Amino acid sequence: MPRKKIAAVLSLVIGAILVAASLYIQSEVSQGRQQIAGAQSTLDTTQSLFSLTPATKNVGGLFSNGIQKKINEGSELAAHYERIALLFGVAGALLLASGTYFWFQSSKK
């Protein structure tokens, strides 16, 4: 098998794997963002209940500050994986395009 055909097949396979991984990561990030939104909504409700009086506001702050920190960390992690998914998607598309190009170029002889 000529080198261009081998390069084409490798590019197509790796490109397809990267695109599939990108789609999987995007799906997982979407689910994570839904969980984060639910947690944020619950925390907002809890904070509004604890903020009725100054005494309960202090107690509510003790509980909610740690939880808000975890929610923020989850949002940052989701953004990180979103960037990875985008990178995988773009790299996969480029590899699929170059693999297709090499495949047709090697067949033109």
Tell me how many domains the chain contains: 1
Question: Could you tell me if residue 10 is inside a domain?
Answer: yes
- 83-109: pLDDT as tens digits: 999 999 999 999 999 999 988 888 775
Q: Is the pLDDT of residue 1 over 70?
A: no
Residue 88 maps to a domain:
yes
Specify if 109 maps to a domain: no
Tell me whether residue 35 is in a domain.
yes
Burial of 99 (0-12, 13-18, 19+ CB in 10 A): buried
Give residue 88's domain range: 3-102
| Within-domain flag for 108 | no
pLDDT digits (tens, 9 = 90+) for 25-63: 999 999 999 999 999 999 888 888 777 777 777 767 777
Q: What is the mean pLDDT of the chain?
A: 90
- Does some domain include residue 73? yes
Asked if the structure places residue 55 within a domain, the reply is yes
SS (H, E, C) 50-94: HCCCHHHHHHHHHHHHHHHHHHHHHHHHHHHHHHHHHHHHHHHHH
- Is residue 33 situated within a structural domain? yes
Q: Rg of the chain's alpha carbons, rounded to an integer? A: 24
Please, are residues 14 and 22 in contact by the beta-carbon 8 Å criterion? Answer: no
